[in-house]
Amino acid sequence: MTCVGIDWADETHQVCILDEQGRTLDSFGIAHGRKGFELAHAKIAKYSAPAEVRVAIETRDSLFVDFLLELGYALYFLNPKQTNRLRDRYRMSDSKSDAFDAYVLADAVRRDPEFFNALSALDELSLRLRLLTRTREGLVGRKVAVVNEITAHLKRYFPVARELFGGVDNAQTIAFLLQYPTYEQARTVSEGRITALLVKQAKISPAIAARHAARARALLKEPQASPSASVTRAYPCAVKSLLRQLQSILVELDALDAEIAHNYKDHPNKELLDSLPGVAGTLGPVLAAELGADVQRFAGLRALKAFAGTCPVTKQSGKWHSIHIRRACNGHVRRALHLASRSALRSTHWARELFDRLRREGKSYGRSLRAVGDQLIEILYVLLLRRVRYDETYHLRMKALHGKTCS
C-alpha cells in the first residue's frame, strides 16, 4: 500500500509519497493544471496502481480532487485542524513547510487509516443539486441582508411603508416604493391608482389588488412622523437602488427553485426523503445533495451522525465532564435538520414528546431540538439502507417493541 499526502494551494501543490514502512519514495511540487495533475499521477503510478493508494488531502472541492477520483484513487479528506495537531507527532516547534505538511498527511493515512473516512465521489445528480442548493442558500443570505438594509432605511424616513403590503420582500411593496419612494408622494396616490399599479407591476388579480390598495390607503391617511428635509431627499435614492437589487434576487431565487425542483425530481432518494417528517420542499434537495445517492459512502450511522453534527462531543477528565455541540460537521446538513426538526415538532407526536421530555429535564432548546434531529438522521439512514418510505406506525411499533427512549 502506497500513501500520498497532498498539501494543496491555488497555484502549486506539494506531494509526498510514502511506502508501507513510512520511507519517503518521492517528494515534489506540481503546478495546478492538467499537466501538473498528470505528472503527479505518473510519479505515483511508478509505485502502485490507483486502487492500492491512499491519498490524504485537506479539501474536497478542487480540480485535482476530481482528477484523482476519476482515476480511482481512495481519497481521505482531513480537516486542517487535524493536520495542525498531527504535526506535533514529529516536531515540538512551530516550524512548518508545505513539503512537511504533505509528509504529515501521507503518514497519517499510513499509520491510522481507520481514523479517517474515505468518501467516494458524489454522483453527478447530487453534485449538481449541491451546487444549486448552496447557491440558493447564499442568495437567501444576500436577500436577508438587503431586506434588513431597506428596513433600516425605511424606519428612518418612511416607517409605514413596511406595513403597507405585509413586508418589504414582496412584489407589491417593491413595485409601489419604486414608483412612490417617499411618504409625501405615496399619500397623494388614489386607491384606484394603487390597484392598477399592483395589477400591472406585481401581477396579482384585480380583486386581491383592490383589497391591498384599500388597506394601504387607510394606513397612508394616518398621521406620520416627518423626518428632516435633507433625510427625505437623501434616503429614497438609496432605497430604490436596494429595491432593484432585491427585485433581481427574487427573480433569481425563483429561477433557482425551478432548476432545483427539476433536478430533484430525478434523484433516486427523493421519495424516501420526502416521506421523512419535517422535510419540506426546500429541505429534501439539500439532504439529497449533501448526502449523495448512496448512503453507504459513510462508514456507518455514527459517521453519518458526526457528518450531520447531531451527535455531541464529550470531554472528560477525572471528575470533570462536559458535553458540547459538534462544530466539525457539514453545516448545510445541520441547518436542514434543524429546520426539519422544528417542523417535525408540529407534525409528529414522537418528536414533540421527545422534545418536551428533554425540556422538562432541563435541557436547552437547542439541545432538545438536536435530539429530534438525531432521531431523524437515524431514521433516514435506515430508510436509505433499506430503500423504504417512512411509516410512522411501524416506527412507533418498533420503538415500543424495543423499549427505546430517545435522548
Do 60 and 97 belong to one domain? yes
- Residue-wise pLDDT for 19-44, tens only, equals 999 999 999 999 999 999 999 999 99
d(CA 9, CA 31): 9
User: How large is the angle between the packed helices 331-347 and 301-308, nearest 10 degrees?
Assistant: 100
The reply to whether 121 falls in a domain is no
- Total structural domains within the chain: 3
Q: Name the amino acid, one letter, at 264.
A: Y
Residue 279: Cβ-neighbour burial (10 angstroms; 0-12, 13-18, 19+): buried
Of the candidates 264, 281, 315, which is a domain's last residue?
Answer: 264
User: Does residue 398 share a domain with residue 285?
Assistant: yes
Whether residue 134 sits in one domain with residue 65? no
**Are residues 81 and 157 both part of a single domain?**
no
Judge if 337 and 393 occupy the same domain. yes
**Domain encompassing residue 286:** 271-402
Domain assignment of residue 21, yes or no? yes
* 247 plus 313 within the same structural domain: no
* pLDDT computed for residue 395 by the predictor: 82
Which of 264, 285, 316 delimits the end of a domain? 264
pLDDT computed for residue 397 by the predictor: 83
pLDDT tens for each residue of 378-394: 999 999 999 999 988 88
Per-residue model confidence (pLDDT) at position 407:
47
With respect to residue 75, please indicate whether it lies within any of the assigned structural domains. yes
Residue 232: which residues within 8 A CB-CB, separation 6 or more? 157, 182, 184
120 in any annotated domain: no
CATH number at 42 reads: 3.30.420.40
Residue 329 to residue 332: CA distance in whole angstroms: 9
**Rounded to an integer, what distance in angstroms lies between the CA atom of residue 63 and that of residue 33?**
8
The pLDDT value given to residue 329: 85
Could you report the per-residue pLDDT of 300-327, keeping only the tens digit for each? 898 899 889 888 888 888 888 888 888 8
Is 10 contained in some domain? yes
Contact 309/333 with Cβ under 8 angstroms?
A: yes
Is residue 171, in this structure, part of any structural domain at all?
yes
Listed in sequence order, the residues at least 6 apart from 173 whose beta carbon sits closer than 8 Å to its beta carbon are 161, 164, 165, 166, 167
pLDDT digits (tens, 9 = 90+) for 231-251: 888 899 999 999 999 999 999
Domain termination site, one of 115, 148, 167: 115
Residues of the chain scoring pLDDT < 70: 119-121, 403-407
> Is 407 inside any structural domain?
no
Mark whether 131 and 244 lie in a shared domain: yes
pLDDT for 404 equals 57
* 255, 277: one domain: no
* Contact by Cβ (8 Å): 359, 368: yes
Distance (Å, whole) CA 127 – CA 66: 12
Residue 155 and residue 103 share a domain: no
Say if residue 132 is in the same domain as residue 160.
Answer: yes
pTM: 0.79
| 98 part of a folded domain | yes
Q: Are residues 142 and 254 in the same domain?
A: yes
Same domain, 131 and 259: yes
The grid coordinates of residue 391 equal 411509516
